[in-house]
Structure formats: structure tokens, C-alpha cells
Amino acid sequence: MRKFEKSHKLDNVCYDIRGPVMDEANRMIAQGTEILKLNIGNPAVFDFRAPQALVDKMSESLVHTEGYSDSKGIFAARHAIVEYYKSKGVEGVTENDVYTGNGVSELITLSMQGLLNNGDEMLVPAPDYPLWTASVTLAGGKAVHYICDESSNWYPDIDDMRSKITSKTKGIVVINPNNPTGALYPVEILQKIVDLAREFNLIIFADEIYDRLVLDGKKHTALASLAPDLMVVSFNGLSKSHLIAGYRCGWMCLCGNKKGCEGYIEGLNLLSSMRLCSNVPAQSIIELSLNHTEETEKLLLSGGRVRQQRDFIYNAINDIPGLSSTKPEAAFYIFPKIDVKKFNVTDDEKMVLDILREKHILLTHGGGFHWEQPDHFRIVYLPSVENLERATSQLAEFFADYKQN
């Protein structure tokens, strides 16, 4: 019988965020076990509702958005995105520099496919949002991981980044605010990354999808605003900031100096036209969304739901003997450290499986984010405080006598 295997192009593509833990969770769910999911950054699963104005706008627009749009997106949406970047201090971008996408995900893959040849290297953070590593690999490139340092608030280690640049390096991926650590990088760190990119002639890929989910009154700096002389490909979208991950709405903007990147841009235009265009009804709400941020802002203020949940999870995790964490400043993730000696942990995926089987809580192990040591896991703190309370008391019970064998 003829066998159909997966393409060799996928051989080294690692997307561990799926895998045995998810398989086990699905098996348990199919058997009727109730699982508390702390593994997905999907606000709708946790009773966050899309702002009504956006739902209305999307419904109204359905009749006018039946056809394909320009492959980069409708003009009004791209214009609103240009205005957004201007408001963040990014000068010189035009509607022509903006590509809308079916979520940022599609554009991450497209941006790597358009640039990398076999063996080209891309600096990617560890821990990372794993789609970046997977997309670099699928495009034939090699993801070279630079360390984000927990002892410095999870900021990128600039010396490590520098030591990993070779003649094959084409760019640096920066995820700020960060998934999975919840870190928000200060201007000084961003400036050092820009200086490195300038010194070695690299393109910066700035994934800023959480820039409207910043806590404690802190301010996000758009990386492109610091580097008008460099090519910075900036990514953003509505999935998280507007609680509408299912609408699939994101964008990418080519900021700064495009000199020398004409060939790359030709590749991006080709790939963009090959998918015809992104979901047009979703594009139709971009303009309104970018001027409609109050509902999310309320969630982040003192007394707001996301802020309360962050405060709760941060304290509760640090109260569990053997666990510790830095305080997340943005997004809705926390990346606790486990005392591997105390718990004898050598396999973080097994630990997460043990938690799932014993306590029915679904988490993601650090290795799912290309974190090499078996000493971290990620919690999505989108569930209500009540559910987080339940989860953390179960985790406290679990870790009270856990020893991995």
C-alpha cells in the first residue's frame, strides 16, 4: 500500500506546545473529565466578551465585504494602522508598508518564508512564542536562541545575543511584551538591541501583539520608533487587545529604512498576493478597534479583572514552597520557576503530565517555549480569580509531596 508521510520540510519543525500533554488532555476530556485549562491565551474561553461595538461593526460590514480586498488589505484599515504607528512615534510609514493578515500567525510564517534561504540564521528568544522558531525552521532557516535572563526581569541578555551573531544571521526576533514571561522591556534594552542590529546590519522583527495589554501604568515603546534608519518589521493584531482571537485579525508593518530590502519586499508582496487577501470582515473593524481601547484598558487598571488576576497569581505562586516567579508586567502569562532539586525534576513535560493526571490542570511546560532547562512552566492567568484560587491550591497540594522518579 502506498504510504503518505508528512513532508520533509516539516522534519525539524518543533511545535511542542501541542504534543503528548494535549493528547492526554483530549483523551481525559473525551472520557468526561473536567480539565481546568491554564494553557491557552484565548480570552473568549474565559468569558471575556468582544466589545459590542466591534461585533456590531463586523455584522454591519458583512454585506459590504463579500469580495477579495487588495492583497495587503482595505485602505481604511491600513490607514488606521499607519496612524497607530505614528501615535507611537514611528515616522515615515505609509499604507503601502502595511499587510493585514489572518492573525499575526499567518504573517510570522509569511515574513520568514519571504526572507530565509536554507541555513540562514535568525536570532529568536528563549523562551519564545514557539511559532517563531517553527516558522524559521519551516522556511529552511536555523533558529538560534538568545537567552532572556530571569535574574534581570527576563530581559534579553545582550551579550548572549551578540555572541550568537554569525555571517549567516539575517535578523533578530524581539517579542515585547513577552509571551511566555509577561516581561515588558525598557527603552535601554531595546536601544541596545537596535545598536546590535545597526552594527551587524540585521533586520529586526518586533512582535508587539501585547502592546495594549500593559499593567501598572507602564508604557510600551515601539521598537521601530528607536530605529528609523533600520528595517523593522512590526507585528500587531486584535486577538488579545480586543479579546477577539477567533476573528483572526493581525497586521505587519515595514517600518524604517527599506534600502537594501527591495528584494525581500518583492518576496513579501508575492507571498501576500498568493493568499489573495486576509479575512475582509475582520479588516473592517481595525479602524474602530484602534480607536476603541477603553474596555481593555479598564481590565488593566487597579480593580480591573486582568490586574486582579495578575496580582492573585503572582502572590499565590510565590507562596508555594519550591515555586517562584518574577512579576509579569504585561500580557496574561506567568512563567514560574520550579526548584528542580527539591522535586527531583529532570523532565518538565512529564511534570506537567503528572499535574494533568493528578490535578486535572492543563499547563504548558517550559520546553514548549524552547526553554532548555526542565525548570519552568507557563500559566495563562485569564481564568477568574475563583478558578485561579482553585488551581493554585491544587498546585500547592501537588508540589507538597512531588518527587519525580
Question: Judged by CB under 6 A, which of 16, 17, 38, 41 binds ligand PLP?
Answer: 41
Task: Indicate the residue among 177 and 402 with the shorter CB distance to ligand PLP.
Answer: 177
Per-residue x/- track, 104-123, ligand PLP (CB under 6 A): xx------------------
Q: How far is the CB of 313 from ligand PLP (least distance, A)?
A: 17
Query: In the set 43, 103, 156, 336, which binds ligand PLP (CB under 6 A)?
Result: 103
CB of 105 to ligand PLP, least distance (A): 3
User: Cβ 250 to ligand PLP, closest distance in Å?
Assistant: 4
Between residues 69 and 241, which has the closer beta carbon with respect to ligand PLP? 241
> In this structure, how many other beta carbons lie within 10 angstroms of the beta carbon of residue 231?
23
Nearer to ligand PLP by Cβ, of 114 and 237: the residue is 237
Determine the interface stretch with ligand PLP among 67-75, 84-92, 98-106, 159-167 (rule: CB under 6 A). 98-106
Residues whose CB is less than 8 angstroms from the CB of residue 395 and which lie 6 or more positions away in sequence, other chains included? 320, 323, 355, 359, 361
Neighbours of 166 (CB within 10 A): 11
Residues 206-245 that bind ligand PLP (CB under 6 A): 207, 209, 237, 239, 245
Question: Cβ neighbours of residue 190 under 8 Å, at least 6 residues apart?
Answer: 174, 176, 221, 223, 226
Name which of 307, 380, 389, 298 is nearest 43 in CA terms.
Answer: 380
Closer Cβ to ligand PLP, 179 or 289, answer by number: 179
C-alpha cell, 157: 541578555
> Judged by CB, which is closer to ligand PLP: 237, or 336?
237
Strands 364-365 and 377-380, by their bridges, are antiparallel
Give Rg (Cα) of the chain. Answer: 21
Minimal distance in Å, beta carbon 203 to ligand PLP?
Answer: 17
CA atoms of 52 and 218, how far apart (whole Å): 27
Helical H segments across 183-261, by residue range: 187-200
Which is closer to ligand PLP, CB of 157 or CB of 207? 207
Specify the residue for cell string 508593518.
253
CB of 335 vs ligand PLP, minimal distance in Å: 13
Contact flag: residue 250 with ligand PLP (CB under 6 A): yes
Strands 333-334 and 377-380: antiparallel
Binding pattern to ligand PLP, positions 170-189, x when CB under 6 A?
A: -----x---x----------
Residue type, 89: G
When CB distances to ligand PLP are compared, the closest residue is: 103
Residue 250 phi/psi, 5-degree rounding, is -145, 175
Q: Distance between CA atoms of 332 and 41, rounded to whole angstroms?
A: 7
**The residue count for the chain:** 405
A 10 A CB-CB count for 94 gives 11
Beta carbon of residue 272, minimum distance to ligand PLP (angstroms, whole number)? 16
Report, in Å, the least distance between residue 106 CB and ligand PLP: 7
- Cβ–Cβ under 8 Å, residues 129 and 174: no
Under the criterion CB under 6 A, does residue 367 sit at the interface with ligand PLP?
no
CB nearer ligand PLP, residue 41 or residue 256: 41
SS3 202: coil
In three-state secondary structure terms, 151 is helix
Q: How far is the CB of 282 from ligand PLP (least distance, A)?
A: 10
Task: Catalog residues that contact ligand PLP under the rule CB under 6 A.
Answer: 41, 103-105, 129, 175, 179, 207, 209, 237, 239, 245, 250
